[in-house]
Amino acid sequence: MELLHPCLNVTDMDRAVAFYTKELDFTESWSFETPDGETENRYLVAENGVELQLSKTEDVDELEQGTAWDHFAVSVESVDRAFEEVDHHGVVKEPTDVQAAGTRIAFVRDPDGHVIEFVEPLDD
């Protein structure tokens, strides 16, 4: 079994796609609507092939953050630069080193409140 993609519910599809393509360099790959036309799904892919599904259901303009969803991680060249440059929508955790994992990390929110972890390997 392998992870195919995380799916994020969003309140504004165009805003979400713009955030992930402009701020995190994902590329839109394909899309579809449910047969009833109520839900739009757009798929984005990162340079390394990781896919992200964004889903917008008609008339859903507010999301509740559940307890089962935590975050997804993306690798970046510089956590500090990404943290400063990305037009994020809230700081969850400022850049810090995690020696046990050999990484530098930071956590921010996207426009709908989903948490994104930036990960950079520490130099040995």
Catalytic residues: 117
* Other beta carbons less than 10 A from residue 39's beta carbon: 15
Q: Helix count (H) and strand count (E) of the chain?
A: 2, 8
- Cα distances (Å, whole numbers) of residue 31 to 6, 9, 80: 15, 14, 33
Question: Residue 59: left if φ>0, alpha if ψ -120 to 50, beta else—which one?
Answer: left
Cα 90–Cα 69–Cα 80 angle in degrees, nearest 5: 35
Q: Which of 89, 94, 50, 98 is nearest to 73 (CA)?
A: 50
